[in-house]
Amino acid sequence: MIATASEMMRRGQSPSVSAVAEAAGVSRSTAYRYFPTLADMLRAVVGEALGPILGWNPPSSPGAARLASLYGMTFPRLAEHEATFRAAIRQSLEPDAELPGDKTLGRGHRRALLQRAIADSGLPPEQAARLVHALSLTFGIEALIVLKDICGLTDPEAQEVALWSAGALLEAALRQAGIKPD
């Protein structure tokens, strides 16, 4: 069902659990046993597309090298599954009775990943939190969408600009804290 839902989303559809079940040749009762709500199914699809990003472990090198490692792993994966992520965003923004309550569809991983990327920066907790918030603007499918759709960049150009922005934010935060950037 996850593969079928992903394929339908890549084609620009916003499928229901029932529609995915039918397309996958699975009974509706079986489908709803695994995915009681549309949000549950979409979280599974997004989780599958994120794949290795969620398991990213920072290299032992500090600062900018950690960000480069994270962005270097993330942006190609986002580009590869761009249609799926766009469909998930579209679905989460649509008013829909099938998506009650939590419409994050599993979003929230970015802060944890970015916190791991800057963990050994030496920034005080308040400044580290502010840096993670700022880095969130340069990281993820939303950043890729802006850089491609608004700025007209290619996938590699978007990754380069996002990483450059992240490096500039890190350097500014370190300087503000009186820490010499590496």
Count of domains forming the chain: 1
Report helix, strand or coil for 15: coil
Q: For residue 182, is it within any domain?
A: no
pLDDT of 56 reads: 93
The pLDDT value recorded for residue 61 is 86
Instruction: For 123-138, write each residue's pLDDT tens digit.
Output: 999 999 999 999 999 9
Tokens of 85: 């992520």
Give the list of residues 6+ apart from residue 34 with CB closer than 8 angstroms, or none: 1, 40
Backbone dihedral angles phi then psi of residue 181, each to the nearest 5 degrees: -65, 150
- For residue 10, is it within any domain? yes
Domain that holds residue 141: 2-176
Q: Give the mean pLDDT per block of 10 residues along the chain (182 residues).
A: 89 87 94 90 87 89 91 94 84 61 61 94 96 97 96 98 97 95 76
Please give the pLDDT value at position 50: 87
- Say which CATH number the domain at 134 has: 1.10.357.10
What span, in angstroms and rounded, lies between the C-alpha atoms of 73 and 122? Answer: 24
Q: Give 164's contacts (C-beta < 8 A, 6+ positions apart).
A: none
Global pTM reads 0.82
> Model confidence over 45-73: pLDDT tens digits?
888 888 889 889 888 887 899 999 999 99
Determine, yes or no, domain membership for 125. yes
**Residue 67: per-residue pLDDT:** 95
Give residue 84's pLDDT: 85
Residue 148 domain flag: yes
Residue 66 lies in a domain: yes
Domain assignment of residue 73, yes or no: yes
| Whether 121 contacts 172, CB under 8 Å | no
| Cα radius of gyration (the chain) | 18
Strands of the chain (E only): list them: none
- Contact by Cβ (8 Å): 45, 90: no
